[in-house]
Amino acid sequence: MIQHLSTDSQKNLLYMYNRIWNEHYFPASWQRALIIPILKPDKDPSYPSNYRSIALTSCLCKLLEKMINHRLLYFLEVNNLLHSSQSVFRKGRSTLDNLLALETDIRLSFLQRKHLVAIFFDIEKAYDRTWRYGILKDLFDFNMRGNLPMFIQNFLQLRKFQVRVGAELSEFYVQDEGVPQGSVLSVTLFNIKINNILHQLPSSVKGHLYVDDLYISCTGSHMNFIERQLQTAVNSIQKWSLTNGFTFSVTKTAGVHFCRKRGLHLDPEIKLNDHVIPFVSEIRFLGITFDKKLTFPPPPCSKLEEKM
């Protein structure tokens, strides 16, 4: 629709964008989202947590967000402000970077006849709990001044949403925290806030991040060394998360002990929030299943294939 606007209409739209940018004004209608709940496969519809929310926001706002996001990403990349192990929505980067980094480290540990232990974290409601003031503080620490941080501040405040089920609409509710779903800027703002988590790791521990999919790993010949290093890393990122508004799910965080040595090798005991992190024989990470021997087991047959 926007592409088919007349020349005069495009000029008027650009004039409005420039006023929003320079006068630090944000239309109230752009701060509202329409939520469409979609039931997750094979889930009980009577539980609200079993629905995935799809947020619909203003197309005109998304266009302006796209322009500003391009400028923001350029600033972050030129000044090397994002950690090198962050891969999401960066030029020339994708999930393959994280997957290949993990596979390469595992294979190298096998060649060296060492152990590699990796812990895969689950961040509870990562987008919904992102600390807004923390985002603005990080932008200030990046020495970012002027219209861009002011726009982001106006963009984040006074967010509202309503839910539509069929033809029924709920009242508007205020979203007091988190980055808004359905917006172009949200992923970049989330990346800015979570970026420093990778700087909390000791030099002996590696970490890779794709949006909220975080794993850390340590390689060594002795399990006692690996256990100490990973426990130090977990304690550090847990302490950081408490002061930055993030919470790790104890029940969904898990570890894998990658090793091809023969004989019995006990898994390390690493705690998160005084709970021992469970170790599993395989885990699904960014769509790929990694098992402890790195055989890449085939995915289970879908229900449709089973019926056929």
pTM for the model: 0.87
- For residue 119, the cross-strand partners are 216, 255
Residue 200's H or E segment, with its range, is none
* Confidence band for 90, pLDDT divided at 50, 70 and 90: confident
- When the pLDDT of each residue in the chain is averaged and rounded to a whole number, the result is 91
CB neighbour list of residue 6: distance below 8 Å, 6 or more residues apart: none
Going from N- to C-terminal start, the domains of the chain cover: 1-81+133-176, 84-131+183-294
User: Which letter does DSSP use for residue 201 in this model?
Assistant: S
Return the closest-CA partner of residue 85 out of 184, 178, 196, 5.
Answer: 196
CA distance 287 to 285: 5
What's the confidence (pLDDT) of residue 301?
57
CA distance 227 to 273: 16
Where would I find the H helices in the chain?
7-23, 59-78, 95-111, 132-141, 147-156, 186-194, 223-242, 303-307
* Confidence band for 18, pLDDT divided at 50, 70 and 90: very high
Residue 302 has pLDDT above 60, yes or no: no
**How far from 285 is each of 64, 157, 210, 291, 292, CA to CA, in Å?**
33, 34, 10, 11, 13
pLDDT digits (tens, 9 = 90+) for 235-260: 999 999 999 989 999 989 999 999 98
Residue 304 has pLDDT above 50, yes or no: no
CA distance 223 to 179: 40
CA distance 308 to 304: 6
pLDDT digits (tens, 9 = 90+) for 179-207: 998 899 999 999 999 999 999 999 999 99
Return the closest-CA partner of residue 178 out of 47, 23, 33.
Answer: 33
pLDDT digits (tens, 9 = 90+) for 206-218: 999 998 899 999 9
What's the confidence (pLDDT) of residue 27?
93
What's the confidence (pLDDT) of residue 303?
47
- For residue 271, the cross-strand partners are 276
What CATH architecture applies to the domain 84-131+183-294? 2-Layer Sandwich (3.30)
* Confidence band for 170, pLDDT divided at 50, 70 and 90: very high
What's the confidence (pLDDT) of residue 299?
67
DSSP 235-286: HHHHHHHHTTT--B-TTT-EEEEE---SS--PPP--EETTEEPPB-SEEEET
Asked if 91 and 231 count as a contact pair (C-beta separation under 8 A), the reply is no
Asked if 173 and 161 count as a contact pair (C-beta separation under 8 A), the reply is yes
